[in-house]
Structure 1
Amino acid sequence: MTKPRIGLLGTGPWAERTQAPALAAHPGIEFGGVWGRRPEAATALAAAHGTDAHSGEDGLDALFAACDAVAFALPPDVQAPLAARAAAAGCHLLLDKPVATTVPGARAVADAAAGAGVASVVFCTLRFAAGTAEWVTEQATRGGWFTAHAHWLGALYGPGANGGAYAESPWRREKGGLWDVGPHALSALIPLLGEVTEVTAVRTGSDLTHLVLRHEGGAASSAALSLSTPPAGAGAGLEIRGEQGTAVLPERWGDPVASFGAAVDALLESAATGRPHACDVRFGLRLTEILAEAERQTAAVATGPETPAGVAAP
C-alpha cells in the first residue's frame, strides 16, 4: 500500500531539530516535501532529509497537491491562514501550538477543517510525550481532583540567559509566556479538571502572567507563565490534589522527535477512522479563546481601569 505523504511548512529551528527528523524517520509515512518562506532554507532542510523543496505561492499549491497531510512549524499567525488553505486543498493538519493568537484566526482554521472534512491534531507536547501523555490520561481517568497548580517559567529571555535560536523568534518575544507556554499548562489542566468556564488573569512584570481558572464541576486551578525568568528560578511543573491525594507531573518528558512521531500516529489514526482526536483543531481553538481572554484582561489593566474577570465560554 502507498504510504501517506506528509509535507512540512517551516524551516526554523523547531522544524530543523524536531519535525523534519520525525517525519523523515517515521516508518508509516513518506516525507512529502518542505516549504519555506526563504527558498535557500527550504532547499537546505529538504536536502538534509532527501525530500523536495518548495517556496512561494506556486510551491504551496504544489506541496498541498502532492501531500495527504501537512505539518506546520511556523509562527501562529502565519500558520493559521496557511492551515485553512491546506484544509481547503484536502490536506489533513498537524498544527503547532498555539493555532493562532486571535480567536478569529483559530476559528477560521477550525471551520476550514470541518468544512473540508479533514483530520487535525495540535502538537501539545505533554499530550504526546512518552513521559507525560500516559500520566495525563491516567490522572484524568482517576478523577476526583479539585485543584491544581501549574508553573511554566522559562528563561528564554531571562536576565543573562542565552536563549539561542528560539529566542530569535519575533512572535515569542512579542507574545511572551502566556502564548508560548500557556498552551502546555492548559493542555493538561483541561483534561484533568474539566472545561474552563471562567478565567482571571494578572500580569506582574513584563512577562509573568498568573491565571486562575474555574472549571466545570467546581474545580479550580492556577498557572504561572513566563519566558523571562532568571535562569536559576526557571522550571516547569504541575501538581494536582483531590480525593485520592496528590499527583505530580513527571519531570522527564522524553525525546521531542519521538513525541512528534506520536502526534503523527494520532493524525493518521484520526484520518483513517474519522474520529476526532482530543487535541484536534477545535481544542486548539478553545486554547486560543482562553488565552485571548487572559490577554484582554492584562492589557485592560495596563491601559486603564481594571475590568471584571471574563467568562471564557466553551
Structure 2
Amino acid sequence: MSIPGNRSRQFCGTVITVQKQAAPSGSQAVVMGSPASCKTATTCAEMPAAGATCESSTGRPAAASSQMGSPRYVIYASATTPDLVAAKYAPKVHGFLARLFAESNAGKPLMHEYYENYFDLYWDLHLGVTGEAIPPEVRTIGAGFTAVLGHWYPTEDIVRENIMRVRELRPRLREWIDRRVQAVIDGDVQDPEGTFVHYWLKNGQGGEHFRREDIVFECFHNFLAFSQWGNMLYRTMALLDEGSGDPAVRSWFERAMTNGPDAADGGAFTPLDRYVMELFRTVSPNGGSLSTVSTERGADPRSGSVLTLHPSVS
C-alpha cells in the first residue's frame, strides 16, 4: 500500500485492508468531542444575548469559551457534551465500530466498509434514522458528497459530476431533514433524546440564534465536519499499516497493547488513552481552515482570505 502525495482527502487509489489483531479485552470509552470550557459564565443564559439556558441530558449547563461564545455556537455545542456522548451517542458509535471491524470484514478495503455504514450512524446521531428509513436519494447525496471530498480536484470529471448531483438533490434532502426534525419534535422516533436535533431544539427554543432552518442546515453542514472522522481513521490505519506504516507509530502501538493497555496504574490515563491522545495531537484530519475577511483601502473595498494550517499549530 502506498499513500499518494499530500492529497489530504484522497482515499481513492489506496486500499487499506482491515486486519484482525489480538488485543486485551476491555471496554474503551469512545469520545467524539471535548467539553466546552467557560472562563466567566456558569450558564449559557449568562452569555450576552444568549436568550437560552443550554442544558444537556443531565441538566448541566453547556458552557462556551470566550473565543467561541456566540449564542449559536453554545447551542450547537450543547448537543455534544461529554455526558451526552457517554450516555446517548457512545452506544451507537460502539455498534458502528463493531460492525466495521467485524471478523467478516478482514481483508476488505477499510474505507469501503466504513462508508457502507457511515451514513446510518450519521443520520442516527442527528435524527434517529437508520436503515430503510433513509431514502435512496439521501444516501445518493451522501455518496456524492463523499466522492467530492475524496477526489477533491475540481477539474476531474467525477468531482464535477458529483457536485452537480449534490446540487440537484439538495432541495429534496432539505425537505426530508425538515420532516425528520418535525418527527423529533413529535416524538415520532425511537429515542428523541438520543439525537443532536433534540438538544438544538430544546436549547434554541425557537429563537433567533438557532432557528429551525439553522437546525436543518447544520444537519447537512455536518457532512463536511464529520468527514474528518473518515480522514482520521484513514490516516491512523495508514500509520499502522503492516507494509508501509510508520515504524515508530507501530512500535508504540505494540508497547501500549502489550503492557496493560487499560491499566491506569494510579494515573489519570491508561497507556492506550495516552497513545490515542498522541495520535490526535499529531494527526490532523483537517489540513487547515480558510477564513474570509473584508478590507477597505480608502473607498475601494476588497475581500481576502486567511489560511490557518492545522498541522503546524498542533
TM-score bracket, shorter-length normalisation: under 0.3
Structure number with the bigger relative contact order (C-alpha 8 A, sep ≥ 6) is 1
The structure whose Rg is larger is: 2
Which structure features the higher share of helix residues? 2
Higher normalized strand content (fraction of residues): 1
TM-score normalised to structure 2 length: 0.27
